[in-house]
Every structure is written in structure tokens, then in C-alpha cells.
Structure 1
Amino acid sequence: MVQPTATKAPARKPVSGGGVFFSFAPWIIFGVVAGPSTWEYAALAALVASVVLSGQDMLHGKLRVLDMTGIVFFAVLSVLGLALSRGQLLWVETYAQVISNGLVAAVAFGSLFADPFTAQYARETTPRELWHSPVFTHINRVLTAVWGTAFALMAISTWLAVLLPAQDDWFNWVIPIALLVVAVKFTERYPESYKARVT
């Protein structure tokens, strides 16, 4: 049985301070701005946001997988936008949002096989002796899986927007925003809910 006093605070910590949400900000910026004629600007804006939001942490040696993926991905897109012609980049224009959402989903699901990416943020405010506790591990595996699922569904939704342009507003805006809201609400509530069940 896990002692309530030992797990109550850490169970809530994965979302404290908004750290994990800040790491999603560049991806959300890209998703909002990217379009057939604006994806280059979206990539540059997302790259700047990635560097600004994670730069201080990187200077202190904190390398988070989602932050690093964002910096590399948006830097590559920015370089491609400068180096290649519009015709050569037609596939990027068409599938930019699908690719970005799919990449975040892949990073999230991939991290489950090593270290759930949400745990990287939770450790910053959780005592070291609790990092390997069953409660801490379970919460972060679930949160990571939820975010991975949300972005996988967003990738599918934005892909459908390409196939069904008449429904663009639904698949590019309404559904992705709804998925983000659900993921945020779940992240805010699940730790305490799970802790209450196991204690």
C-alpha cells in the first residue's frame, strides 16, 4: 500500500508550472499558423518558440526529448523552406500539419519504451526517492499515452482535412482543439484521481 503522505504531492506534479504545456506550445503554434502559403513562417515561429522556451533549460543541461525534437524538426523545415523551390516543397505544404502531429505522437509513444516524456517534467518537482515509485511511473505512462493518442488522432484529423477540403474547418480546427482540451483536462485531473484510488 502506498502511503498517502508520500505520494500526494508528486502525483500532482507532472503538470505543475506548465512545463509540459510549454513544450507543446511550438507544436501548437505550428499547427495554428501552418497552411499552404504560411508553413515556412509557421516553422520559423515554432523554431523561435522552441529555442526561447527551452533555451534556459538547455543551458543548464536539461535536454528533454520533446524540446529537442521540436528544435531539430522546425530547424529542418526552416532550412528546407530556404533551400528548395516551392514545387519541390509541395508535399510539405500539403502535409505539414499531418507530419508535425504524427511526429509528436511517435515521440510520445516511443518514449514509453524507455522513459515517458512527461516524467522528464515531473522529476523537476518530485523528490528523487519517488522517481521510481509505482504511482509516479504509472501516472506518467498514462499521461504520455494520452498525449500520444491525442496527437495521433490530430494527425488523422489533419490528414482527413487534406482529403476532404470542404470539411477543413472541422478537421483542421474543431477536432484538434477539442482533442487538446481533452488531453489538458485529463492531465490536470488524472494524477489526483489515480492517487485517490490506490491510497
Structure 2
Amino acid sequence: MNYIKGFVPWIAFSALSSVVGWQWGALVALAATGWAILRDRRSGVTVDAQILDLGSAVYFAALTAVAFAAPHSVLEQYDGALSSVWLAAIAWFSLAVRQPFTEGIARRQTPREYWGTAAFRKVNTTVTLVWTASFTATAFAAFACDALDAPTLVRVAYQAVGCGVPAYFTHRYVARVRAARAALEVQTAIPAVA
């Protein structure tokens, strides 16, 4: 569940915005993102492994500035949709530059000897594609809900599905890949019987 840590600022923003206002939600999310970046840099995480965090910092810095400068801006009405669009943009960008954002997260729980392998790249490209598709679909759902003034339950449901489906996929897919790798290692370690 290490990959969920990257979304903590987004979850905090979503939760706090409705309680204390979007300005303070954005500011707390920015602080949480900054703390995560600094913590990871101190522990040796490279910048290329922080695509999600750096993209989040840019978004929350801009949103905080706008929210405090114009607290009654029409952007507040679309902050959920804009968040999904930005997450999709980060994910699409990471794929375009051939640095799937999930790679940085996966490196924190995968032995270094696997990082340069084609299999590691393929797994992370696949996982990032699923998250990217989900962010994109969630952005469309958010704009539709805003346009149709959908009830809160519908908004919570699409957010839960938009996060839950790729999280479940990631967990199952990575577990299946690890099991296959472990089986292959066992199989190659056993000498052939004549």
C-alpha cells in the first residue's frame, strides 16, 4: 500500500476543503506534499522517482495562491474535476517521458537488482496506464457531475471507484507478477532430474 502515500495530500485536500474551506485544504495539501518531498530526498529518493509528488506540489502551490487571492473564484466549484485533470496530466506526462510515476513508488519496495529490467519497466508501465485511465475517467465523471449538479453520494462514489479500481488492480497485478517471478526462481534453482 506504499503507493497510497503519494495520494495523501490529495485525500487531505478533498476532506479538508469541505470542512475548513478550499484555501486551507490546498495549503495543508501543499505542506503535506512539501514534507513528503523533503522526507524522501533525505532518505535518498531521486527526483525522477518523485514525479507524482513534484506534480502535486506545483498544483497545490498554484491552487493555494488562487484560493487565497480569490476565495470566491469559480474554480472552487471545479476543484475536484481540476484535481483529477491534473493527476491525469501528471500520469500522462510520466508515460510520455518514459518514467511511469509508479516506478518511483515501486523502487521503494523492490530490490535494486530489478530496477533496470524490462519486466520492472513493463509492470510499472502497465500499472501507470491503469491509474492514468482511471484519473482520466474520474476527471470526465467530475465534470459531468458538476454540469449536472449531481448529489454528493454520486460524487463520493466516482471518487471511490476512481481510486479503488486502480488500487485493487495494482495490488493484484503486482502480487501475480511477484508470484510468477518467485516460481521461476524456484524452478531455475532446482536441477533437472535425468
Q: TM-score, normalised by structure 1?
A: 0.78
> SS at 2:136's partner residue?
helix
Q: Which runs of 5+ in 2 are unaligned?
A: 185-194
Residue deviations 1:115-167 (CA, integer Å, cap 9, x gap): 111111222333333212222111101111111111111111111121111x2
* 1:12 aligned residue: none
Of the two, which has the highest radius of gyration? 2
Q: Does the C-alpha gap of structure 1 residues 119 and 85 become closer, same or farther in structure 2, counting only changes over 3 Å?
A: closer
Structure 2 equivalent of residue 191 of structure 1: 174
Is 1:135–1:195's contact at 8 Å kept on the other side of the alignment? no
Using the TM superposition, give the Cα deviation of residue 81 of structure 1 relative to its aligned residue in structure 2, in angstroms: 2.2
Distance in structure 2 (CA, Å) of the matches to 1:79 and 1:25: 20
The answer to whether the 8 Å contact 1:162/1:168 transfers is: no
- Structure 2 CA distance for partners of 1:59 and 1:196, relative to 1, 3 Å: closer
| Displacement of 1:53 | 2.9
Aligned counterpart, 1:27: 10
Q: Confirm or deny: 8 A CA contact 1:34 1:42 kept in the other structure.
A: yes
- TM-score for the superposition, normalised by structure 2: 0.80
Tell me if structure 1 keeps the 8 A contact 2:23–2:71.
Answer: no
Distance 1:48 1:32 in 2: 15
Candidates 59, 72, 96, aligned match of 1:73: 59
Q: Which has the higher contact order (CA 8 A, sep 6+)?
A: 1
Tell me which moved more, 66-75 or 48-57: 48-57
Q: Report how far residue 170 of structure 1 moved.
A: 4.1
User: Which whole-Å CA distance do the structure 1 matches of 2:21 and 2:156 have between them?
Assistant: 16
For 2:59 and 2:29, the matched residues in 1 are separated by 10
Task: Tell me, yes or no, if the aligned pair for 1:118 and 1:143 is still in contact at 8 Å.
Answer: yes
Q: Are 1:85 and 2:70 an aligned pair?
A: yes
How far apart are the structure 1 equivalents of 2:95 and 2:165?
20
Does residue 142 (structure 1) correspond to residue 126 (structure 2)? The answer is: yes
Aligned length: 178
> Gaps spanning 5+ residues in structure 1: where?
1-17
Partner of 2:189: none
State the identity as a percent: 29
Structure 2 match to 1:11? none
Name 1:55's counterpart in structure 2: 38
* Distance verdict in 2 for CA 1:86–1:128, change over 3 Å: closer
Q: Give, in angstroms, the shift of residue 179 of structure 1.
A: 2.2
Give 1:108-147 correspondences, 5 Å limit: 108-113=91-96, 114-147=98-131
1:163 maps to 2:147: yes
Match for residue 13 of structure 1? Answer: none
Is the Cα contact below 8 Å between 1:157 and 1:171 reproduced in 2?
A: no
Give RMSD over aligned pairs.
2.3
CA shift at 1:168, angstroms?
A: 2.7
